[in-house]
Amino acid sequence: MSYVAFVPARSGSKRLPNKNIKMLNGKPLLVWTLEACVNSENISEVIFSTDSKEYWELAKRYINSDKLLLDDRSEEEAGDKVKIFDYLKNSVDKIFGDRKGNFLMALPTMPLRSTQDVDNAIDLSEKLDKPVFSAVEYDFAVSFSFTTDGASWEAVLDSSPMITGNTRSQDQVPMYHPNGAIYIRPIDSLRSSSLKTIYDNGAPYIMSRDKSVDIDNSVDFKIAEFLMSDE
């Protein structure tokens, strides 16, 4: 079965300007994700989607592979209000042309996802014969969630331990959330009007917390650097 990787990296980060090319352990952030995809024998092509010529030149400088291709996005296509899922659906023919098979999207803010994770997620998708998305367990029990107006609190769940008193951590049901590292779907599914989210009919590929650091700010960079140096 054939797989085409899709790695989107726009240049308009506001919280941390040029986040995607900030140096992390000797390489620009986006390079870690491109390498994880290029080094997978399951992936025949890696489409780097960006609005920045600088990002593309940097990617080619670090990734010397015929697998690496460019999806050149316009300023409108890379705006901060454009959801990447909507871009995939609206531009599927522009991005993938007449390619068949599956695509694997990998967000560049997840540098600790490895080629082994990419291959394991592909194996799971083929075993279950369905789409896959990566996920990680919450680092604290979601069952304790509450809202507040600053003077009082209200539990989100009726079964909250803050109401029942059952606060033993061992009794809390593990809960998970997508981590953005890997998404696998058939390319043709993007052409279906019935597809509402990238998670439709998907199965979770569970990753460890140390592989699930999502770079959003300078603190996340420091955490990723520490974990990489500890390997």
Residue 194's alpha-carbon distances to 58, 85, 222, 230, in angstroms, are 38, 14, 41, 45
pLDDT mean over 116-141: 97
Q: Give residue 2's pLDDT band: very low, low, confident or very high (50, 70, 90).
A: confident
Check if the beta carbon of residue 110 is closer than 8 Å to that of residue 181.
yes
Q: Give residue 14's pLDDT band: very low, low, confident or very high (50, 70, 90).
A: low
Per-residue pLDDT tens over the stretch 18-53: 899 999 999 999 999 999 999 999 999 999 999 999
Q: What is the mean pLDDT of the chain?
A: 94
pLDDT attached to residue 170: 84
Which regions of the chain carry the CATH code 3.90.550.10? 3-137+176-226
pLDDT mean over 128-132: 98
Per-residue pLDDT tens over the stretch 62-113: 999 999 999 999 988 888 788 999 999 999 999 999 999 999 999 999 999 9
**CATH superfamily of this structure's domain 3-137+176-226:** Spore Coat Polysaccharide Biosynthesis Protein SpsA; Chain A (3.90.550.10)
Q: Give residue 229's pLDDT band: very low, low, confident or very high (50, 70, 90).
A: confident
pTM: 0.93
pLDDT attached to residue 59: 96
pLDDT attached to residue 231: 60
pLDDT attached to residue 223: 95
Q: Give residue 182's pLDDT band: very low, low, confident or very high (50, 70, 90).
A: very high
How many whole angstroms separate alpha carbon 123 and alpha carbon 102? 13
